[in-house]
Amino acid sequence: MVRDVLLARGGASGAASGLGRAHHDLVKALDSNNIEGYAIGGVIEHELGGNPATRINRRWRSHPKRVQNSLVMMDLLHITDQEQAHLVPENCPIPVSVTVHDLFHLFPRITEGVEVGEQKPGKIRKKDLEKLHAGLARADLLICDSNTTLMEVKEHYPDVNSICVPLGLTLEERNPESNPLSKPSWLEGEGKHLLLVGSEEPRKRLEFAIRACRGLSGTILHKIGAESNSDAEKQLKALAAAHGVDLRWQGRVSEGELQAAWQHADGLLFPSIAEGFGYPPLEAMAGGCRVLVADVGSANEIPSTASLLPVDDVMAWNRAIKGLPTGRCAESLKRSERFSSQKFAQKMAKAFDSLF
């Protein structure tokens, strides 16, 4: 028996962001019949943009109603991220699951002196948070990307069933042995080429990564990210110049170019102190790239312990970067096999099965 799954989210964001990537990968897995016993019955989403009044009306009224009206002939409703949990219908006639990537936007905190999440939300966000909490409490199953998030979910929503299903990647297309890609031109030249991938949000701690490279002659930092902010770019470049660090701002690159970079870069620096899952370390490892990751959840669940570094010890990072070998890393490739798209699909099938 094959059950039809209705996927729902808010704005139709692309795969460049973590939330967008996870949504699109789940759509692909269902559409390709990789999640045994389940098929995609439809995707409910809306266009991005609009004035504030339009966005609020759509988010709180018209879009939830649209989801409610689309349940006919469906066996399961799955909300693809926690920021859309308000879409969980009241008294839903079919089981409802929600993917929970993280809770730091729903429960803001200060970690290592960095504000994570909106510390003083306004009236609209407060009302939105109430709706999100109520939606999560109405769900039948909360599917978490990491054990770190699962522990938080169990603390805040103890009456809702929850499970950990780590995200996965299609490893074959990223493997430098089965699918070798040409080196991007900006990675040419002598030196140790390291990547910083992601936005400039304070929780990513790009400043820390720059300070950790101080005094390391021949080390080149390449900043990659679709969410680049011009003010943050100026500040980070100024900081790098002050510390004598060679920072090269690549900004947005194509998915293919990023995959090629993973295959040819010498390492990824990932000092982030708040992640739902942490795609960049896994993507890097799948390309045979070494990673240095802050030892804090959830990103510390992906690499081996040898790749984890103290969150606040900049000199430990400096020494690790200095001693980082160049070239392909067989250990990274081996470790990434734990997070294949096949294993993700198998675990999602078991999670969905638990609802019936």
In a domain, 107, yes or no: yes
In this prediction the pTM is 0.95
Say yes or no: 305 and 274 in one domain.
yes
In a domain, 178, yes or no: no
Say yes or no: 204 and 332 in one domain.
yes
Residue-level pLDDT at 65: 97
CA-CA distance, 240 to 220, in Å (whole number)? 11
In a domain, 173, yes or no: no
Q: Mean pLDDT of all residues in the chain?
A: 95
Residue-level pLDDT at 17: 81
Sign, CA dihedral 264-270-276-277, equals positive
Q: What is the count of structural domains for the chain?
A: 2
Say yes or no: 32 and 132 in one domain.
yes
Say yes or no: 131 and 148 in one domain.
yes
In a domain, 15, yes or no: yes
In a domain, 22, yes or no: yes
Checking if the pLDDT of 232 tops 90, the result is no
Say yes or no: 141 and 217 in one domain.
no
Checking if the pLDDT of 229 tops 90, the result is no
In a domain, 175, yes or no: no
Say yes or no: 40 and 136 in one domain.
yes
Radius of gyration (Cα) for the chain, nearest Å?
21
Nearest to 22 by CA among 346, 277, 353: 277
In a domain, 298, yes or no: yes
Nearest to 203 by CA among 231, 164, 226, 232: 232
Any idea what the CATH number is for the domain that residue 323 is in?
3.40.50.2000
Of the chain, the percentage scoring pLDDT greater than 90 comes to: 91
Say yes or no: 159 and 19 in one domain.
yes
Say yes or no: 270 and 305 in one domain.
yes
Q: Tell me the residue range of the domain where 262 lies.
A: 185-338
Say yes or no: 21 and 124 in one domain.
yes
Say yes or no: 29 and 153 in one domain.
yes
Say yes or no: 131 and 210 in one domain.
no
pLDDT in tens, 286-321: 999 999 999 998 999 999 999 999 999 999 999 999
In a domain, 176, yes or no: no
CA-CA distance, 301 to 21, in Å (whole number)? 19
Say yes or no: 40 and 143 in one domain.
yes
Q: Residue 106 to residues 82, 99, 198: CA-CA distances in angstroms?
A: 9, 14, 21
